[in-house]
Structure 1
Amino acid sequence: MATKNRLKIGIDTKTNEDIFLKEGNLLIVGKEGATKKDTIVYPILNQMISQKDVGITIFDHTGLVSKVAYAIAKKNRRKISYVDPMLRRVKFNPLRGNEDDVISNFVNFFCSYNMESPRFFIDTGSRLLTYSIKVLKTTMGQNATLLDLQKFLENIKGFGRHMVALFSRVSSSDPMTIQEQELITSWFLQDYFNDKSKVYEYTSGVRAFLMDLLSNKAIAKMFNTSEEGEFLELDFKKHIENKEVVIVNTNPADLGGAYSKIQTLIALHLQNVILHETKPVPHMLYFKELLHLRPLFSDLFQASSFDHTFSMIAEMQNGFHYEYLHYEYKNGSFISSFPNVVIMPGTVMKEEFRNTIFSRREVEIMEDADADMDQHEFYYRMIDSCAKGYTVSGAAKGALLPAEESEFLQKRIKRYTREFENQKRFSGGAVSTF
């Protein structure tokens, strides 16, 4: 793990010895419920946040984990950036950064949410996004926003044609750049903005996708980084260097179906920072639900297998998701990216899958555990990277928070919940830094 101190997950029920995570990521598999939170999630977050020499970013969509993490961070006097589009004072621009990274992120982002569409429409939409971002990045630099992209795609008040004209006049001495400029300019004027062409109609999915993302006023305000006022720009390079606690809460009750898209965009920005950092600073990640982030984060999964300056702890709501991702990553990269696995009682898996992934002894432990486990017990399996192929597994009892500490946190959570609700009443929608 990217930690100075090892993380304790529980006590082995057979040997009565403390169980610490091996180096690498942790996957927690089990249905949603208080038992999982109290048994494994909250105790681990408490240990992670208590280590002040390591930053952590938490992605949540329930509001519950966010508030607990916030209370723990406040107790430990950590610097916190609490990101919630329904609160105020922070901005995020997914078009800011290296052009190639921005294009790759946004095209993959669009494709991942439109996988059921015919290949022709996905390819045409991807081309439109690629060319549009190139035009805006060339003409507006780092100031281009998603709102500008929307205006460009819909050619509001001629904005699209105007930006293409500016793009066509940008001088360059590089023959490849000149050729690309001519190609993109021609494509927009002869195809996309040409009323006689069908390209505009074929790419309606891109505009609908963006409109869905920006339809919530709070979200649109968060992405409008050109607006005047006192705002903090979400900047993971800075957050990681400062070893901050960053909490991203995107609650579907407030944001509707766009909640996962916002979380994905922010996580993609974080992934770029982590993977491109020349002098890595230890950082930890927590994902409340891993499934909807795939397949966009395969690079992060694979990198974490050998680069332990950062590490992930992620939840997955049922065993069928675990099986799904195992077979999606046929080369085994997903399983190898999470050498530490915790499986909660009552987790349903197909027998064939369980017998394929786990040893006979492990299956016996899991089957016994499912039948006989107490409320705060679970099955664990850990692969030791230092001793290749060596696996430690068994049943364990969770390292619960002490009663006094748990009671203290609950009181603080109630207090912070009231504060957040008051902020919502007066906010236009953005992000808060405390």
Structure 2
Amino acid sequence: MIRERMRRAKAWIDAQVRPEGEAADLWALLLAALRATGYGIVGAGFAFLALYTIPLLLLTTVLAFLGIGRFLIRPMARWVRTVAGLERARLRRLGHEVKTPYLGPYIDTPRTFRELRADPSVRRDLTWLAIHGTWGLILGALLLQMPFTAVHDVTYPLWWVFAPDSEQNILNGLVSADTATAALLGCATGVAVFALWILYGTKILDLQARPGVAFLGPDPGMDLSEKVARLTATRAAALDAHAVELRRIERALHDGAQNRIVGVNVLIGAARREIERDPKRADQILERAQDTVEGALAELRAVVRSILPPVLEDRGLAGALSALASDCAVPCTLEVDVEGRCPASVEATAYFVVAESLTNVAKHSRASSASVEVRRKGNTLTVTVSDDGRGGADAAGGSGLAGIARRVEALDGTVAVQSPAGGPTEIRVELPCGS
């Protein structure tokens, strides 16, 4: 008997609470539909860019075949990568893991038809461009129209008699409604469209995003031999980077601290000879020896910091990068969103990337401002350094970008450099952090 009463009491409580739960679910659906509509409109904007890019690509192709427009191949390839990059950023905001396909030999934009044919990322970008410029635009327009159509049709019975004959319609002009009965039907269609919007808005957004997820990442059908070649190249890069680092440390010790210590040895020998003959002179020599020892210690500390900066251990990646940004000769903003600690090798590489990039900014870019953004999402640490300088950065020109690439490739990371003539410059590095 007691159990039966408890069951009835529980059923009554559930019946009282359920309306609030349903209201909360409806509110969550409404917010999800609004979010989907917002991202769908952004996707429609990118679809407009893709749609208007298609005739430009056709014109560039014709001019290049005629031999008078070959210089347009690289700018158009960069533009396609820019539009695709905007869509990748949107997809990442939606929670999709879309990695850059511009890796290894394809990190630079193609310059000729031969390079275009050899680059698999070009074919995938162009496929996405054609699909998103049509299908994505239609879905974005549908997401935008649904809430407006719902509001229009629900309120239509209140004002249809005042509307001109050309405006007396429902379902976005698909159905004529010039009678009271048809106006009441508009209210029903508005409710139906609203229900479809809140229930299927996120599904429509997912359909709009599918081509980008499928085509804007690395080619899943990459040949195994190419993967092995890339792995071999990264391991060779790791060994080269290790050898270069050892040579740098050897030079720093041989030309700096070692010479100073030899000088100290000579000075101490001279001081011993002068102790009995001229103690004052011996004291001066010992003072010079002390100064030389202090210089040698300073150089040794600098070498140690270049191997693994102690500030990383003491203050973490955020603190170490904050010190770099504050010491930069160009005004620099810093944003770090990294929870916990990354592996020591990853933090050291990220620190080196930022340090070398800011050094290049100060020396070569003629920039008035720079920014550093470091984020960790999942098992990937992304470092982005940008400036508003003159651009034209090229790893083949012997700049510090080559050293950055070697360091990053040694950890199986990727480097993407965008630095058109006239600027701005952006260096984006992705480093795997492990689990």
- Structure 2 length as normaliser, TM-score? 0.24
The structure that has the greater radius of gyration is: 2
Q: Taking CA–CA contacts closer than 8 Å with sequence separation of 6 or more, which of the two structures ends up with the larger relative contact order?
A: 1
**Which structure's residues are more often helix, by fraction?**
2
- Structure 1 length as normaliser, TM-score? 0.24
**Which structure's residues are more often strand, by fraction?**
1
